[in-house]
């Protein structure tokens, strides 16, 4: 039998949306915030020669800088104030979450509810400023080492570049939080999503131009299109996949009548971590690699050039590190967002149990057993989707956007945003039904 939420979801239509004024305001706020972000990607950092930088960027856009440019929505190729995007903030979030598992003080903050969460967010912001400052200074030095890019090299340019790039990232952090609180969806993910989608027209035009000139064989162009459609279908399938554990509740007696115990399901997503492992893995690779790539444009030492080459797009070391980071963060983030012991305790308090499993510790062990094994499948799926298209695309020398990482982020964020919109609509419809029932009851009285 369908639940009340499922029945409400089936009844959603345009009329329900037109009555959800609060949801419409949230959507308009989200679109306005993303428009502000897009405008910022066209404001250049002062002291840069755009033509000289464009020539420098074109020499390395197929490498790690091309991937960074994808996440930044084209801000890197214009060296805009949002060139660093949210990568330093995401990296800081990773470090703080990892430290929370090792430092008792941070672990205690995680258990203090909303107050502890705000304190940890504050630590994350401070650390993000540090990472952003280091990365911005490395980019400034790298730009100075590229001939003709900087109009007036020196400490003033370095300081102004650091202040501009750090200020841009801090503004995006604030904007993302505002979208999460007052808009629809996760603000950080939506900003990255908007940057990727903004490159879609240029990517399609580039692919068509390569096919027209013969640089990309016709069969390869068709194959990339089929691959993109197949990857999207695989992502949707795995993101919707669940392992449902049967939960049974005991019989209950009301007066002289004995009622049969209810049954329900505990849904465990195949990919509990979502797109977070891919974003985290990409961020950790981009932090050092971007500085090395910029610095390698000038008279860089041989070891720095070697590192830049090894971390290039499609290189074995890059692929191996990316896969390892994705698998690690798939398990790490799943352990953060889902606690089997807490779930087992909640089931025990409500009288629910898994048939054949003793309530309490044995139930927690069983849930952890199942969750670990489906996470293996989920982590493997993320690694394959992110890496296999990257290998093929790197061999064909086409845009990074067509890769599995960008498709994974696009599809996952879209599904999550649609799910949140549906939740708002269901809440709106439920409130309407409650009001009608109250009015009906009042008239009968």
pLDDT exceeds cutoff 80 at 436? no
CA–CA separation, 425 and 39 (whole Å): 31
pLDDT at 406 over 90: no
The Cα diameter of the chain in Å comes to 90
Asked if residue 45 lies in contact with residue 79, where contact means CB atoms within 8 angstroms, the answer is yes
pLDDT at 256 over 90: no
Q: Does 203 have pLDDT greater than 60?
A: yes
Which range scores top for mean pLDDT: 44-58, 111-125, 326-340, 391-405?
326-340
Residue with tokens 């879609």: 200
Reported pTM: 0.77
Q: Which residue has 């969750």 as its token pair?
A: 371
Where residue 74 falls (left for φ over 0; alpha for ψ -120 to 50; beta otherwise) is: left
Return the pLDDT at 140. 86
| Residue 86 CA: distances (Å) to CA of 28, 198, 270, 330 | 22, 16, 27, 20
| Contact (Cβ atoms closer than 8 angstroms) between residue 76 and residue 68 | yes
Q: Is the pLDDT of residue 73 over 50?
A: yes
Task: Please provide the size of the chain in residues.
Answer: 445
Instruction: Write the burial class of residue 302 (CB in 10 Å: 0-12 exposed, 13-18 middle, 19+ buried).
Output: exposed
- At 1, is the pLDDT very low, low, confident or very high (cuts 50, 70, 90)? very low
List CB contacts of 136: < 8 A, sequence separation 6 or more: 84, 161, 162, 164, 165, 166
By C-alpha distance, which of 279, 266, 302, 292 is closest to 386? 279
Per-residue pLDDT tens digits for 290-322 = 555 555 555 556 666 676 667 666 678 888 888
Is the per-residue pLDDT at 251 higher than 80? no
User: 429 or 117, which is more confident?
Assistant: 117
């Amino acid at each position: 039998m369908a639940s009340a939420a499922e029945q409400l979801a089936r009844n959603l239509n345009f009329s329900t949306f037109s009555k959800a004024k609060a949801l419409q305001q949230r959507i308009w706020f989200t679109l306005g915030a993303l428009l502000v972000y897009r405008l910022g990607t066209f404001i250049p950092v002062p002291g840069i020669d755009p033509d000289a930088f464009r020539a420098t960027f074109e020499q390395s856009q197929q490498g790690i800088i091309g991937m960074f440019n994808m996440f930044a929505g084209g801000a890197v190729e214009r060296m805009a104030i949002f060139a660093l995007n949210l990568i330093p903030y995401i990296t800081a979030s990773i470090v703080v979450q990892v430290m929370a598992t090792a430092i008792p003080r941070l672990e205690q903050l995680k258990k203090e509810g909303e107050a502890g969460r705000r304190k940890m967010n504050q630590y994350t912001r401070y650390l993000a400023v540090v990472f952003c400052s280091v990365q911005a200074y490395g980019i400034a030095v790298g730009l100075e080492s590229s001939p003709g890019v900087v109009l007036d090299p020196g400490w003033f340019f370095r300081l102004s570049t650091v202040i501009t790039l750090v200020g841009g990232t801090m503004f995006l952090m604030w904007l993302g939080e505002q979208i999460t609180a007052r808009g629809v969806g996760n603000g950080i993910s939506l900003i990255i999503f908007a940057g990727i989608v903004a490159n879609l027209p240029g990517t399609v035009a580039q692919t068509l131009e390569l096919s027209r000139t013969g640089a990309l064989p016709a069969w390869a162009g068709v194959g990339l299109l089929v691959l993109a459609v197949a990857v999207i279908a695989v992502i949707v399938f795995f993101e919707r996949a669940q392992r449902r554990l049967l939960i049974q509740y005991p019989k209950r007696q009301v007066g002289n009548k004995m009622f049969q115990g209810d049954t329900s399901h505990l849904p465990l997503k195949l990919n509990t971590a979502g797109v977070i492992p891919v974003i985290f893995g990409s961020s950790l690779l981009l932090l050092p690699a971007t500085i090395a790539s910029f610095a390698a444009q000038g008279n860089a030492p041989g070891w720095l050039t070697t590192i830049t080459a090894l971390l290039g797009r499609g290189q074995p070391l890059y692929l191996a590190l990316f896969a390892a980071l994705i698998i690690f963060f798939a398990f790490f983030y799943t352990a953060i967002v889902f606690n089997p012991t807490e779930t087992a305790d909640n089931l025990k308090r409500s009288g629910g149990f898994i048939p054949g499993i003793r309530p309490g510790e044995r139930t927690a062990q069983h849930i952890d057993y199942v969750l670990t094994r489906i996470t293996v499948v989920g982590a493997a799926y993320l690694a394959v989707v992110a890496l296999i298209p990257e290998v093929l695309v790197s061999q064909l020398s086409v845009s990074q956007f067509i890769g599995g990482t960008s498709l994974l982020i696009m599809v996952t964020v879209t599904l999550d945003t649609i799910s949140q919109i549906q939740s708002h609509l269901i809440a709106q419809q439920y409130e309407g039904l409650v009001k009608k029932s109250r009015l009906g009851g009042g008239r009968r009285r």
